[in-house]
Amino acid sequence: MNGNNPYAGAPGVTDAGSPAAVDLSPDQERQLRRAVAGIVSRTESYLPDSYAVGSELSVGAEGPQATVAVNPPAGHPVSAGFTPDPEDLDAGIAESDTDEVARGLAASAAVQVMDAVGDITPTAK
Question: Do 112 and 76 touch, CB atoms closer than 8 A?
Answer: yes
Q: What percent of the chain has pLDDT over 70?
A: 77
CA angle 79, 62, 35 (to 5 degrees): 50
In this prediction, residues 11-26 reach a mean pLDDT of 61
What does the pLDDT read at residue 104? 93
Indicate the average pLDDT of the chain. Answer: 80
- Specify the CATH number of the domain 24-115: 3.30.160
Instruction: Tally Cβ neighbours within 10 Å of residue 44.
Output: 16
- Per domain, the residue ranges of the chain are 24-115
Other CB atoms closer than 10 Å to residue 55's CB: what's the count? 16
Q: Which residues pair with 67 in a beta bridge?
A: 56, 81
At 75-119, the pLDDT tens digits run: 899 999 888 877 777 777 788 888 999 999 999 999 898 888 876
pLDDT at 48: 92
Specify the DSSP element, H or E, that contains 45.
helix 26-46
Q: What is the pLDDT of residue 11?
A: 55
